[in-house]
Structure 1
Amino acid sequence: MNNRQLFLQHLAQTTDFPLMIEVEKAEGIYLFGPKGEKYIDLISGIGVSNVGHRHPKVLEAIQTQLDKYMHLMVYGEYVQSPQTELAKAICNTLPSTLDNVYLVNSGSEAVEGALKLAKRHTGKRNLISCVNAYHGSSHGALSVGGNEIFKRAYRPLLPGVSNIRYGVLEDLALIDNETAAVIMETIQGEAGIRVATKDYFKALREKCDETGTLLILDEIQCGFGRTGKFWAFEHFEIVPDMIVCAKGMGGGMPIGAFIANKEVMGAFKNNPLLGHITTFGGHPVSAAASIATIEILQKESLIDQVESKANLIKSLLVHPKIKGIRNKGLMMAVEFGSFDELKPIIDRAIELGVITDWFLFCDDSMRIAPPLTITEDEIRESCSIILQAIKEVSGDLK
């Protein structure tokens, strides 16, 4: 059997209609197929490849670490320099109140750890998340998700979870003295790139302080430079009690983290000890790749270029079929009239060599989240192809 047949026969499927793009190699913003196909990855593997595919400095860091050691021991027992150096590098990007990093394997695991920590530290059991939030697919992460379509088949989930509307000030009244934590995407991703106001976040911070509630900001998609600042919460002049991150932090390697202050994180050490355990969390090869990713973002000034690149995309993607573009930096949603209108455009763009997508909870909008390394010429090429797809699908070939 060929690879496509093996994929369908032996790999567990998540839908009846996978994209079935076969990839032989990736480099920069491009994916290459076995028959010479070439695609621009305009979604970065869903927000992962912030520094592009196979960045030379990431590959060098991986190879250097491979020559030393790989997995040695479950997380938290041995002193391993990739872990300690990464934790320091992350903390150097953050306010001093966020000084303790727990390294895990993925965004979902980071969310699981953060929810456990909030309950353990506060002694409370209730959690609040947002309507149309997405925090992952594991049991606890799904529990604080905000869309019933994805949850109903797996109930009962965690008890004590309530939803508020993202960005709606009056809903903050639901946060009370029995709330252990509010978990919220700083920028809502799967809802179609929704951005709350600075005043909203300040009111949220005040309400959490009043009620002794921990504020957990989910920066799994929006962190590591995606919005034009290293962390998206920097746009809103507040500091959370915890951050969860993953995706763009590993340069293409699997890694995640939840971050708090040392006192809060200390709740995992006693009653019971080993309050959170991960075998492969902070894998030294992934940690080395993450250190390199941070250095690339900072030394190549990629974050400083985000806003101008986003503005270029917005200036180029102009067509009557496009109803508007929502964005925070290079986290973008291009709105069309409906999913039925959008889906053929996405399909045709892929055929023409540009990979885009839609959003789980916003299927009338096209996801654009390119590697931050994308050049202006590559942006122009990508947008030209998208416009060509729109014209072909709509029958407007002028």
Structure 2
Amino acid sequence: MKKDFLKYQAQTGPAPLSIEVSHAKGTYVYDVSHKKYLDFVAGVSANTLGHSHPKIVEAVQKQAASYMHVMVYGEYIQKPAVEFSKLLAKSLPGPLETTYLVNSGTEAIEGAMKLAKRATGRSGLIAAKHAYHGNTQGSMSLMGFEPRKQAYRPLLPGISFIEYNNENDLYNITEDTAGVLLETIQGGAGFIEPKNGYLKKVKARCEEVGALLILDEIQPGFGRTGKLFGFMNYQVVPDILVMGKGMAGGMPVGAFTASHDMMALLKESPKMGHITTFGGHPVIAAAALATLQELTSSNLIPQTLEKEKLFRSLLVHPLIKGIRGKGLMLAIILEDPEIVNFLVLEGMKKGLLLFWLLFEPKAVRITPPLTISNEEIEEGCTAILELLEEWNSQNVN
């Protein structure tokens, strides 16, 4: 199987981890040799409720038995998509009330970029250095990391970059700016939180010059930071909200939300300003609805902050230089990228799944399912500390 995997399936890197998955349940992934792995990654923040959550499985099976794809997005009334969008609107502050459902986070970014240009009549977009918003041509144009972009130029014109948390850069937002697109918490950069009311100040500057604030919640969204969306921690409301990843409990999905009046601009002049065949797919929407219902009717979201405290209390070691992030969106910061590689690769051998971050080589991702238990947290943290001790024993001067 591995030989076929490497030959017939396109790869994203030269050395994939190559676990041959048999099944996954709760906080564990199992390979074909019956080895189990405690999952501290959750499909890169996608498996919000863990693996094969019974309510999501039931929703998917029930909807698949009723109907699957019947028409391109926006033509037929399909109950799962309508119910999800309505519950989402009830869970968001105004004026965020109308949602466009798409297939992935990067497509949602593309839609948000178009909507900002359509709403303002401007073309300029601003993103942050070390930003990551996806990998299609448009969203890659917003990536603030040139080594990942240089092979694919030319990209979209009219995009400039500011430094996240640098208030002096806010004056780069001008009357030519259609939108400022920021991650609420920078992911690939190392889980960098906004400081000193930064997002509020960005929003104020946008309002001053007539630009729109677009917040990328693809990773922080759906409960990972102790609120349904990360922006709710920082007393700011975006003009356009972008989401994906954990939205449907492990199913492929994305969306962007704005006011009803703003979203209506995509309907005319020209018609079909944004279209998608499979966006709002009823099976995916059923999974998203089940996920959102579980999050809004349980204590999982506030529990993420208690679980964060447990992680921080346990992960104390001389090689750990800090822990960034919020809730269950955490990154261990180490002094050497080689220690990161050791933790990820040796952790897998020990049955613990960890992963890298895109642009911060000294960081190890910890983004487990929100359903992880305290006992599982303790089990995984014990393994991390043991691995760090192994590193020390192997690298004594």
Shared fold (TM-score, shorter chain, > 0.5): yes
- Conservation of the 8 A alpha-carbon contact between 1:104 and 1:256: yes
Which residue of the partner structure matches residue 324 of structure 1? 322
Establish whether residue 271 from structure 1 lines up as the match of residue 269 from structure 2: yes
Q: Shift of the alpha carbon at 1:300?
A: 2.5
Q: Look up the match of 2:38.
A: 40
Instruction: Tell me what 1:116 maps to.
Output: 114
- Counterpart-to-counterpart distance in 2, 1:344 and 1:303: 32
More deviation, 341-350/252-261: 341-350
* Alpha-carbon contact 2:179-2:214 (below 8 Å) kept: yes
Match of 2:29 in 1: 31
Percent of aligned positions that are identical = 48
Q: CA deviation at 1:33?
A: 0.4
| Residue type of the alignment partner of 1:382 | G
Corresponding residue of 1:253: 251
Query: Which whole-Å CA distance do the structure 1 matches of 2:233 and 2:343 have between them?
Result: 33
Find out whether 1:360 has 2:358 as its counterpart.
yes
Q: Aligned ranges for residues 1-398 of structure 1 at < 5 Å?
A: 3-395=1-393
Displacement of 1:198 in angstroms is 4.7
Which amino acid is the alignment partner of residue 370 of structure 2? Answer: L
Contact persistence 1:324–1:334 (CA under 8 A):
yes
Please state whether the residue corresponding to 2:208 is helix, strand or coil.
Answer: helix
Contact conserved, 1:191 with 1:362, CA < 8 A, in 2? yes
TM-score normalised per structure 1:
0.98
Quote the RMSD (CA, aligned, Å).
1.0
Q: Tell me the SS of whatever aligns to 2:345.
A: helix
Deviation of 1:396 after TM superposition, in Å, equals 7.2
SS at match of 1:67: helix
Offset at 1:298? Answer: 2.0
Check whether the contact 1:339–1:364 (CA below 8 A) recurs between aligned residues. Answer: yes
User: How far apart are residue 93 of structure 1 and its match?
Assistant: 1.1
For 2:361, what is the secondary structure of its paired residue?
strand
Structure 2 unaligned spans of 5+? none
Deviation digits for residues 212-260 of structure 1 (CA, Å, limit 9, x no counterpart): 1010000000000000000100111111000110000011111110000
Distance 2:394 2:301 in 1: 37
Aligned residue identity for 2:186: Q
Task: Report the TM-score when normalising by structure 2.
Answer: 0.98
The answer to whether the 8 A contact 2:343-2:354 is kept is: no
Give the unaligned 5+ runs of structure 1.
none
- How many residue pairs align between the two structures? 395
In structure 2, what residue type is equivalent to 1:288?
A
Counterpart-to-counterpart distance in 1, 2:298 and 2:123: 44
Q: Secondary structure at the match of 1:102?
A: strand
User: Which residue identity lines up with residue 127 of structure 1 in the other structure?
Assistant: L
